Amino acid sequence: MSKLEDFLRDEGNVFPGKTYVEELLKHVFNDQRDFLFDVMFDIQRAHVIMLKEQQIIKPDEAILMLKGINKVAETDKNLLSYHPQYEDLFFMIEAKIGDEIGEELAGKIHIGRSRNDMGVAMYRLVLREHLLEFLKNTYRLSEVLLNQAERHTVTYITAYTHTQPAQPTTLAHYFLAIFDVLQRDLRRIWFAYETVNQSPLGAAALTTTGFPISRLRTCELLGFDKVIENSYDSIGGADYLLETSTALMTCMVNSGRWIQDFLMQVTREFGAFKVADPYVQVSSIMPQKRNPVSIEHSRSIASSAYGDALTAINMIHNTPFGDIVDTEDDLQPHLYRPSRMETV
C-alpha cells in the first residue's frame, strides 16, 4: 500500500479529517467553550424574547424555548469536549436544546437568525467584557499614579534627555506625565469600545430576513449601544477588531516605555526606586541580590500583548470583505489575551 493510501486511510474519507480535527477543530471548540459559552445563551434568550414580542412565535412556545435554553445553560462547560458529530460548539448547543424541547421547537429559535450574525454578536459581547476589564485596571493604575504624585511633590529626581542627565524635576512631575499619556490611552480604548458595542443581530447571513424581526429590540436586550445599520457591514466589517488592536498596541507601547524606565531606576547604580519585597526574587547563589522580576514580567507581558494585537491586524489584512473564518475563532483569542492583561 502506498504512502498516499496510508495517509487517506488514516485521515478518513468524510469531513472532518483526522488532522483537521486534531490540529484545528478541537482547539477552536475549546476556545468557544471557554470564551463564548455564556454569551451564546444570552443571545438565544434575547432572540426568543424578540420573536415572541414580534408575534413570530406563540407565547407558550417562547416559554418552552426559554426553559430549554436555561436548562442547557446550566451545563458545566468544563465537561464539554469536541465530538465529531458536531462541527463546533454552536451545533452541539443547538442539539442539546433540541433534546430538551424537541427539534421542531428548537428549529424555530433559529427563525430570522444566522450563525453569521450570531457569531459576530458573540465576539462583540465577549470583547466588550474584556475591554471593560482592561479599562477598570487602567483606571486603577491612573489612581495609583495620582496617589504617588501627591506623595512626591517635593521628591527631586534627575530628568534625562538622550539618556543623559539634563534637568532637575520632581517625581510627581514624572508620574503625572505618565498619567496624562494613560488618559489618552483610555480615550482610545473607549472609542474602540463604542465601535465594538454595536449589534449585528438581524443581519442574518448577510442580507437580513423576510421575517418581521426587531433589530432594535435584540440590541436593547443585550446592552448594545446601537444597531449596525448596514447588514453587509454587520457581517463583513472587521474594523471593530482593528480599532481595538491599534488602541491596545498604542497603550502597550506607551506602557513599555515607562516600564523600561522603572527597570533602569531600580538598578543598584541608579537606586531611585525600590521594588517591594513580595515582588522581588532572590538569586540561587548571590544572596545580596534583589531581582526586580515583577518589572521584567511587566515589560514582557506588554510586549506579548502588543504582539497578539498585531497578530489580529495581520490576520485581517487582505481578507475578503465578507463572512470569512480569518476574522473569527482563530483570531478572537489574540485580542482576549492583551485586553485581559492585568495592569501592573
216 in the same domain as 187: yes
pLDDT at 23: 84
pLDDT exceeding 90 applies to what percent of the chain? Answer: 83
24 in the same domain as 161: no
When divided into structural domains, the chain yields a total of 2
Amino acid type, 54: Q
Residue 214 has pLDDT above 50, yes or no: yes
209 in the same domain as 91: no
137: domain CATH number is 1.20.200.10
Dihedral of alpha carbons 162, 166, 172, 173, sign: negative
Phi, psi angle pair for 289, to nearest 5°: -85, 145
Residue 30 has pLDDT above 50, yes or no: yes
Amino acid type, 125: L
Supply the mean pLDDT for the chain.
Answer: 94
Residue listed under C-alpha cell 471593560: 132
pLDDT at 1: 59
Phi, psi angle pair for 326, to nearest 5°: -55, -35
Average pLDDT over residues 196-209: 97
123 in the same domain as 97: no
Q: The pTM is what?
A: 0.92
Mark which of 110, 129, 149 sits at the end of a domain: 110
Rounded Cα–Cα distance for residues 79 and 84 (Å): 16
User: Residue 126 has which C-alpha cell?
Assistant: 465577549
In eight-state DSSP terms, residue 289 is -
Reported as a single tens digit per residue, the pLDDT across 74-128 is 999 999 999 988 888 999 999 999 999 999 999 999 999 999 999 999 999 999 9
Question: Which residues lie below 8 Å from residue 321, measured CB to CB, with a gap of 6+?
Answer: 236, 237
Which residues constitute the domain of residue 62? Answer: 1-35+57-110
pLDDT exceeding 70 applies to what percent of the chain? Answer: 98
204 in the same domain as 91: no
178 in the same domain as 316: yes
pLDDT at 87: 82
Query: Considering the domain boundaries, does residue 47 fall inside one?
Result: no
155 in the same domain as 75: no
Tell me how crowded residue 191 is: count the other CB atoms within 10 A of its CB: 13
Residue 18 has pLDDT above 90, yes or no: no
Residue 343 has pLDDT above 60, yes or no: no
pLDDT at 304: 95
